Amino acid sequence: MSYRDFVQSAENRRRYWARSAAGWSRVRDARPNAGHLALARLETRGLISGVITQNVDRLHHAAGSRRVIELHGALADVRCLDCGRTEARNQLQHRMDQANPGWAAARSVAEAAPDGDAELAAAAVSGFVVPACLACGGTLKPDVVFFGENVPVPRVEAAMQMVDQAEVLLVAGSSLAVFSGFRFTQRAAGRGMPIAIINQGKTRADDMARILIDSRTGYALPRLADLLETDWQHGAGDETIPRKEPARGQE
């Protein structure tokens, strides 16, 4: 759903929140995979300086990463469009359950969708009651960047600073099709910074990369972490990342 559609239509908001209420448990109960854990391990060792993520599931935090910039926000937070007050998504879920008694039956047969929502019958959506902001009675929106909405400037500036302070930019698990992420590879390339990419399939920045690895991040990142930790333990220093031409398909 676009930002414009969300803010201009109460019916669209009803549909969004009904689907979200049915699918929220999938996001809430998700656990980090091997790739998340590998990045957290590398940060603990001081081998990566931080993570800029386009994901909104907060799994990097759950894995133990400490310096994380959530470029598109997080579904775990809800913000009032009128007064700016934030509320935990779990608390809002409780309020939605209270405002919609008997709705659990419709939710139990809902088919989960990939974005933390679920497919619902029109009848289930039409009667759904959307709670308002506890402070001002205003409109609540998940604290994530919707299509057609800009990433907050301070967040972009903090991410750019993280890139500028790094020696190498590692892209993991993104095609960089969305400019909000692609801009950081442009920044790194403009500064002459080596770029390494781990992704299944082509990305928008393949021609900028010094290293290309066509692989699942859950497979490649733990192995990369093992190699870098071994080099770190033996004092490999700046030669940890090999300087070589792009090679796709290396796992």
User: If we measure between CA atoms, which residue out of 104, 139, 150 comes closest to residue 16?
Assistant: 139
> Looking at residue 239, what DSSP letter applies?
G
Tell the burial category of 19 from Cβ atoms under 10 Å away from its Cβ (0-12, 13-18, 19+).
Answer: buried
User: 94 catalytic, yes or no?
Assistant: no
Region for residue 235 given its phi and psi (left: phi exceeds 0; alpha: psi -120 to 50; beta: otherwise)? left
The per-residue b/e assignment along 149-184, b for 16 or more CB within 10 angstroms, e otherwise, is bebeeebbeebeebbeebebbbbbbbbbebebbbbb
Q: Residue 185: enclosing H or E segment and its boundaries?
A: helix 179-190
Residue tagged 């608390």 (tokens): 91
Q: Closest Cα partner for 219 from 38, 32, 30?
A: 38
**In whole angstroms, how far apart are CA 77 and each of 73, 142, 243?**
8, 6, 41
* Sequence-separated (6 or more) residues with CB below 8 Å from residue 48: 39, 42, 170
Catalytic residue among 36, 60, 72, 234: 72
Q: State the catalytic residues.
A: 72
